Chains A and B, each alone.
Chain A
């Protein structure tokens, strides 16, 4: 428990990904089996108990401390588990000499402990632990443990230890169970790669590189296929003997949020792995990303959401069919397999992503720029003979996004960044002019924290510090004197902002020191141009 608690504490305060990785690697190397396996389960979010309720913690603490002292302490600390962990005083020396329980011991004991016995066991454990282990224990036992490292990061750490790609871990992951003995054995070279044949495991997807600094003239149009790039979220639908899954491209299982898609997969009963785009589709029309966002924000949707925001899938590719791995086949062949599978089953909620016919890339470019409809981000170019390769290989697939939209906005507020940027004002809230009752004022339309170079960041930081008019904690309000050209992918109406609009993927395209703030764009012109 002590090693795990130390890791938790360190992860909670470390913003840097590389440091988290180093800490995880150290932990996975030093911690024994099966403790480390349960720690991994905790990171994957699959270790959760509800053995004790807050009232039980409070009652236990009250056996050792005066209620008034407890109340003052809780008031100061603000977190019940932390208060109890800090305030707890081991009863006697004999208890202190007892070793703190390991994480696995805690998990195994809780698995079969009758509710009535929990206080006794917990009291003994608390006596044997130090404050930081008590904190971890109490968080675990009340089901409120949060680990400052994602499952993906933990898998990356394991992959680095094993000198394999994170995707190799991903391929076997969803067929494994805590405490992952077989996985650790494989990683340490003491066992075979775990076999996941009947489990609905995730297959790392193939991603495209952005089409930049590439000479299209050298491409032979006959060797390339074009599809629309849809503005939804990329998903993998898996149906295997042991069940169905909906994964995001980062292996997150989002099936619970999309029971409509899962049900469709179950009804089909076809053993496949499909690659596609998840969208909200109403009467065959793709809805805005904002609509999809509403579904994504809900762990499990209400009946009315399922009715008003129905999920649909644009199918891009097929990876497996009845246990056969299609990934080594060329794109054209996989496309035929996808089309014939689709024709055979005619699956509801799904449509095939259209292949766009084109003679040359000039025509295609025109088509790309004319397509401003909801849900289209640009084009995908796929080489006709490309196998399905995990990761983001350069060459076979390209994403050819529309030129970004831009607006000239005025910086209004700035906030410090995180981690390496914590000494810089690197998050900027910007706004546009609006005239109400003859008064011209700025209204914020968004926030940007990327797109600039290190040099530009230094300039912006200094500008913010030199032009601060007010401070609210970490936020500074600045004089209205700096124009930023903001690039964004789409604009939409939004009730969350005072301006009534919101941007998708806003970033700083240019610092317009040449432009006076009064000449920045107006909200009216913005709405006219983009909405």
Chain B
């Protein structure tokens, strides 16, 4: 498809004259979701879902989240230059969207980050049939067939029951993972107050403002040490094994991430209870989704693209790598860097 171009600033839609998740400030940016490697500050005009715009304002401040902002609900169609543009849910985090573009009878869809597993805190992914599908491939290896998140939550709750005198501290990044964990815990019947690191609280308030119930949340930073004993504490991954964690009584260090699926990665992080919970499509979901779109052509933005392209080739689908630099292989890392 020749009307989508890769430029140094990022992926560019020629007939609409806008960039998707650009890496540098541009005149018009369409943003898939609020993670810091996708939503960057300093653009002139920004188009995104109301949730994503709201997230950008919270994280960057009003003045850096785009000089003018255009909120677009899922499914609401607009024309930008010669292109018909609308957003479809991506199921990654609150407000995350696929960018759907139509031009001269062809349809291209840019997925951004996405997942297919159910998530009570955001609208589920919607398959949009298209000619070109631009996908991520964070977990683009067949070893990443990730377990049911409910099973991983069950592991945590079992541990909390087995060691009632200890404090379980779960590392999770601030946008998406944190709120999803809370919702999963609530769905599993855990209704005790949850203790949150200060860096996680503003985003939870934002989610609640969009009608997502998270139950009782308390500040771990303000808590007295003994109060949290036996409880569950959520904190950014960078805080769980560092000085911040010393305020917790007898902590058990847990980390919720898709990377926890591989033992060496979990070991390297010094985690005692790895929880395999990811906000990205796993291997099966990547293949299923690419096929379900019916696209003849697949572009892979970031992740482990070589394996995915190889597997698509065996299915008769042409894939190629965009090798977009600047996107992290790991949201977690990007989010940690953003917080540092």
Contacts and interface: CB of A to CB of B under 8 A. Distances in A.
B310 A86 contact: no
Contact of A422 (B250, B253, B263, B304): B253
Interface string B255-274: 00000011110110011111
B120 interface: no
Contacts of B162: 22-23, 26
Contacts of B166: 19
A79 B162 CA distance: 31
B273 A13 contact: yes
A72 B141 contact: yes
A388 to B, nearest CB: 38
Contacts of B157: none
B242 A15 contact: no
Interface stretch (B142-150, B173-181, B213-221): B142-150
A365 interface: no
B264 A77 contact: yes
Contacts of B246: 423
A73 B143 contact: yes
B263 A423 contact: no
A472 B340 CA distance: 19
Given A13-B272, A22-B162, A423-B242, A76 B141 contact: yes
Contacts of B252: 19
Interface in A69-89: 69-70, 72-73, 76-79, 82-83, 86-87, 89
A87 B242 CA distance: 34
Nearest to A15: B272
Contact of A65 (B142, B144, B306): B142
Contacts of B274: 13
B263 to A, nearest CB: 6
Given A13-B274, A66-B314, A82-B263, A131 B147 contact: yes
Given A22-B163, A79-B264, A68 B310 contact: yes
B307 interface: yes
Contacts, number: 73
A4 to B, nearest CB: 16
Contact of B241 (A10, A77, A422): A422
Contacts of B270: 422
Contact of A82 (B262, B271, B310): B262
A83 B162 CA distance: 30
Contacts of B262: 76-77, 82, 86
Interface in A123-149: 130-131
B221 to A, nearest CB: 16
B263 A12 contact: yes
A82 B163 CA distance: 28
Nearest to B262: A77
A302 interface: no
A69 B147 contact: no
Contacts of B232: none
A435 interface: no
Contacts of B304: 72, 76
B57 to A, nearest CB: 34
Contact of B145 (A19, A79, A86): A86
B143 A87 contact: yes
A423 B241 CA distance: 6
Interface string B276-319: 00000000000000000000000000001011001100100000
Contacts of B272: 13-16, 19
Interface residues of B, number: 34
A70 B166 CA distance: 41
A423 B306 contact: no
Given A22-B163, A26-B162, A69-B310, A13 B141 contact: no
A61 to B, nearest CB: 10
B44 to A, nearest CB: 40
Question: Which of A13, A19, A82, A89 counts the most B-chain CB atoms under 10 A from its CB?
Answer: A13
A13 B144 CA distance: 20
Nearest to B144: A86
Contacts of B264: 77-79
Nearest to B314: A66
B20 interface: no
Given A66-B310, A77-B264, A86 B143 contact: yes
A69 B263 contact: no
Contacts of B7: none
Nearest to A130: B147
Interface string A45-83: 000000000000000000001101110110011110011
B11 interface: no
B143 A83 contact: yes
A30 to B, nearest CB: 11
B29 interface: no
Contacts of A16: 272
Contact of A423 (B243, B273, B310, B314): B243
Contacts of A23: 162
A70 B311 CA distance: 11
Given A15-B272, A131-B147, A69 B307 contact: yes
B245 interface: yes
Interface in B90-141: 141
Interface string B143-161: 1110100000000000000
A78 B304 CA distance: 16
A10 B158 CA distance: 12
Given A10-B273, A12-B263, A73-B142, 4 more contacts: A72-B141, A86-B143, A131-B145, A423-B243
Interface of A: 10, 12-16, 19, 22-23, 26, 65-66, 68-70, 72-73, 76-79, 82-83, 86-87, 89, 130-131, 420, 422-423
13 contacts: A13-B273, A19-B166, A19-B272, A66-B311, A66-B314, A69-B310, A72-B141, A76-B304, A82-B262, A82-B263, A83-B143, A86-B261, A420-B250
Please name the 6 residue pairs, one residue from A and one from B, whose CB atoms are nearest each other, closest first. A86-B143, A73-B143, A72-B307, A87-B142, A73-B141, A13-B272
